[in-house]
Amino acid sequence: MEKTLVLIKPDAFRKHYSGDIIKHYENEGLKILAMKLMKMDEKIASKHYAEHIGRPYYDDLMGFMTSGPIIAMVLEGEDAIANVRRINGKTNPAEADEGTIRKLYAESGSRNAVHASDSPESAAREIAIFFNASEILD
């Protein structure tokens, strides 16, 4: 079984979409191993988005992700990383398939409701930013 990190971003949380988004993952057979409601601070955001430092959109991304509560989750399932990315849909909701989370709940390419790890290495790094081992119930 594979683990991945999912973040329900401030835009989706603010619009009360969190329960619907979580249900999408559960309906696809993914198991929640950890979940917390939190406000991402600059320290956590800069660790999580370290590879984006210096890019033109970095300041906007940091401002957005620290603007309100998020829900961080560790999900587990067979091919969890690829499956979650399929369930989420393309980054730009205008290009996302019907029924995907981003098609249903995202505002734009930069306000796109959810984040998900893109590789096993990213998942391991990202999970460790948001959770310690005792918080993950597998």
DSSP 99: T
> Which residue is associated with the tokens 């249900």?
23
The answer to whether residues 44 and 125 touch, using CB atoms and an 8 Å cutoff, is no
Tell me, yes or no, if 115 is annotated catalytic.
Answer: yes
Out of 16, 48, 52, 115, pick the active-site residue: 115
- CA 52 vs CA 27, 43, 48, 56, 58: distances in Å: 32, 14, 9, 9, 6
The residues annotated with a catalytic role in the active site are 115
